[in-house]
Amino acid sequence: MHNNTSTLSNDPAGFFSHMASKCQEDMARTLRHSPEIHEVAQAMARANQLFDETMESQPFAPPMACKAGCIHCCYNPIMLSQPEAILLGQHLGSNLSDAQLKTIAHKARGIAMRIKGLTTEEIGKIRHELPCPLLMDGTCGIHPARPLVCRGWNSVDASQCEASNIHGPETLIESYEWPRTLAEAIQNGILRAAKTNGNEVGFLRLPNVLLVMLDIGPEQCARAWLRGEAFFGRYRNK
């Protein structure tokens, strides 16, 4: 692991490696001792917090255009890992009403049916028609538990994001690369910890994961994964 003195400004690669290793070690300690579901969710939340704190500590010039109520990027196919799904499931069960969960399930089912059998490239061509099923009242309904890919995406010009939803994914969007790189590094660290522990690892489509968790229950899904079963995996790429 790189020296702790590595910073984003003087050694970006070392900093990303350090952050990934830190999150990997934390998740590995958690998984090693037959954890309760909430402990896995807490470890994932700590990884997210490290990312958020890094974002808050850095100056951006030009400034970020991303802010509450801006949902142009919420029309992208979202992939998340199993630990992220567990955190999301805990948040859904603790913070949303039955009526809200039914609405999310309805929207997720429609999107899952629409993208079934499509490649990533094919989904990208129709993404402007696929609003995230977790959008609620014009904002992210699970913002504290949103996946790392959502945290890492950014833009310095909201009008470019809006244009991308109209004209397609090849539209130029000015953004900062390092938040996406950091989000990916942390996500990979989390997955390495899970793989070493013998758990299923991979990237899962958000609509399918939502359907599984809302149909079967977040707790049951998490328990299956912690037992080493390929529960989430059976829905991959469907």
Task: For the chain, 238 residues long, give each residue's pLDDT as a single digit of tens.
Answer: 344 557 888 899 999 999 999 999 999 999 999 999 999 999 999 999 999 999 999 999 999 999 888 899 898 889 999 999 999 999 999 999 999 999 999 999 999 999 999 888 888 888 888 899 999 998 999 999 999 999 999 999 999 998 888 887 678 899 999 999 999 999 999 999 999 999 999 888 899 999 999 988 899 899 999 999 876 555 444 4
Structure tokens at 120: 């990533």
- 134 within domain boundaries: yes
- 2 within domain boundaries: no
pLDDT number for residue 3: 45
- 30 within domain boundaries: yes
pLDDT number for residue 69: 82
- 191 within domain boundaries: yes
Task: Give the Cα separation of 100 and 136 in Å (integer).
Answer: 9
Sign of CA dihedral 174, 179, 183, 188: positive
Nearest partner of 124 among 167, 82, 81, 66, judged by Cα? 167
pTM over 0.95: no
- 6 within domain boundaries: no
Task: Give the Cα separation of 48 and 82 in Å (integer).
Answer: 14
Task: Give the Cα separation of 156 and 66 in Å (integer).
Answer: 7
Task: Give the Cα separation of 234 and 50 in Å (integer).
Answer: 31
Residue 34, phi then psi, degrees to nearest 5: 45, 65
Per-residue DSSP letter, 107: H
Residues with Cβ within 8 Å of 48's Cβ and at least 6 positions away in sequence, in order, are 87, 145, 148, 151
- 4 within domain boundaries: no
Domain count across the chain: 1
pLDDT number for residue 1: 38
Q: Are 80 and 134 in contact (CB under 8 A)?
A: no
pLDDT number for residue 4: 52
- 7 within domain boundaries: no
Sign of CA dihedral 29, 34, 35, 40: positive
Range of the domain at 216: 12-235
Task: Give the Cα separation of 138 and 113 in Å (integer).
Answer: 23
pLDDT number for residue 237: 41
